[in-house]
Amino acid sequence: MGNNLLKGKKGIIFGALDERSIAWKVAEKCHEEGASIVLTNAPIALRMGTINKLAESTGAVVIPCDVSSDEDMKNLIEKSMEHLGGKLDFVLHSVGMSLNIRKKNPYTDLNYDFMHKTFDISAISFHRLLQTCFSQDALNEWASVLGLTYIASQRIFPDYNEMGDAKSLLESIARGMGYHYGKAKKVRVNTISQSPTMTTAGSGVGGFDAFMTYAEQMSPLGNASAEDCANYCITMFSDYTRMVTMQNLFHDGGFSFTGISSEVMNSIKPTE
């Protein structure tokens, strides 16, 4: 049972692929808290995933959107407002893709056409979303827009490759559009820097299992789960966080501010 934190609110959830997706958990929590939602993903992802199952359980409609297409984004926003019967109160951007990682290209030998595509899908799409909403006056006052990010935007994690650069750009866009949208319409824009999470996308990063274990040992509270992240997103969509904007919010069990833990120290201590 929910607490009606989002009762009467309307929003769009990007990126729910399957039950492991953070976006999937967020959609379920939004529904539980009384919100009406539209689900969206790239056409190919809709074919690969099980989003129709989620749509059925949450009473949502599914509208395909290639986030690198201005026309698709415009259509998504228009159709969502039409279906939901008015302006939006929240949006989750949970989108990321790297062709260089898929092709196993090292950071020192990237394909720049692939890199441009990575930036377009993983970061510039966040600006495209916000600019489209701005031009269509699609968000209510005090609406909340979230993008999911990762600490590799600020620290080097070698296997994360160009996605670290993409996440840096995503966070910068949140600050820039957060300022302009806040001044004009009192819309808040933030990013959530989540623990490494075993999603379908995350598992494609080299050495991910080992890093999950490392992060768990480093974090005083342990890794934050997809369910934990969904709960945090709900609070950010709610009216209880109206004055929070332009922030990169760490949701990682304390990993981001821990230099080293006793568990990690013990694992590297020389044997006597």
Closest listed residue to residue 116, CA positions, set 128, 130, 95, 100: 100
Res 205: pLDDT: 62
Q: Sorting pLDDT into bands at 50, 70 and 90, what band is 30? A: very high
Q: Kindly indicate the confidence band of residue 175, based on its pLDDT and cuts at 50, 70 and 90.
A: very high
Q: Which domain holds residue 197?
A: 10-268
**What is the residue whose two structure tokens read 């369910």?**
227
Domain contains 97: yes
Bridge partners of residue 88, in order along the sequence: 139
Quick one: pLDDT at residue 208? Answer: 75
The candidate with the shortest Cα–Cα distance to 160, out of 125, 201, 129, 218, is 201
**Alpha-carbon distances, residue 101 vs 109, 110, 153, 263 (angstroms):** 11, 9, 16, 30
**In the chain, which residue ranges form alpha helices assigned H by DSSP?**
22-32, 43-48, 51-58, 70-84, 99-102, 112-119, 125-135, 163-185, 208-218, 226-237, 262-268
Domain count, the chain: 1
17 inside domain: yes
Question: Does a structural domain hold residue 242?
Answer: yes
For the entire predicted model, the pTM comes to: 0.95
Would 230 be classed as within a structural domain?
yes
Greater confidence (200 vs 54) lies with 54
The two structure tokens encoding residue 36: 């009406």
Please provide the distance, in angstroms rounded to a whole number, between the alpha carbons at the two ends of the chain: 54
Distance CA 234, CA 251 (A): 13
pLDDT per position as a tens digit, 95-131 = 999 999 999 999 999 999 999 999 999 999 999 999 9
> What's the pLDDT tens digit per position in 58-100?
999 999 999 999 999 999 999 999 999 999 999 999 999 999 9
- The answer to whether residue 3 is domain-embedded is no
Query: What CATH code is carried by the domain that includes residue 254?
Result: 3.40.50.720
Tell whether 115 is covered by a domain: yes
**Mean per-residue pLDDT of the chain:** 94
Q: For residue 215, tell me if it sits in a domain.
A: yes
Q: Is residue 33 part of a domain?
A: yes
Q: Which two tokens stand for residue 171?
A: 């966070």
Rg (C-alpha) for the chain, rounded Å, is 18
Residue 267's pLDDT band, with cuts at 50, 70 and 90, is confident
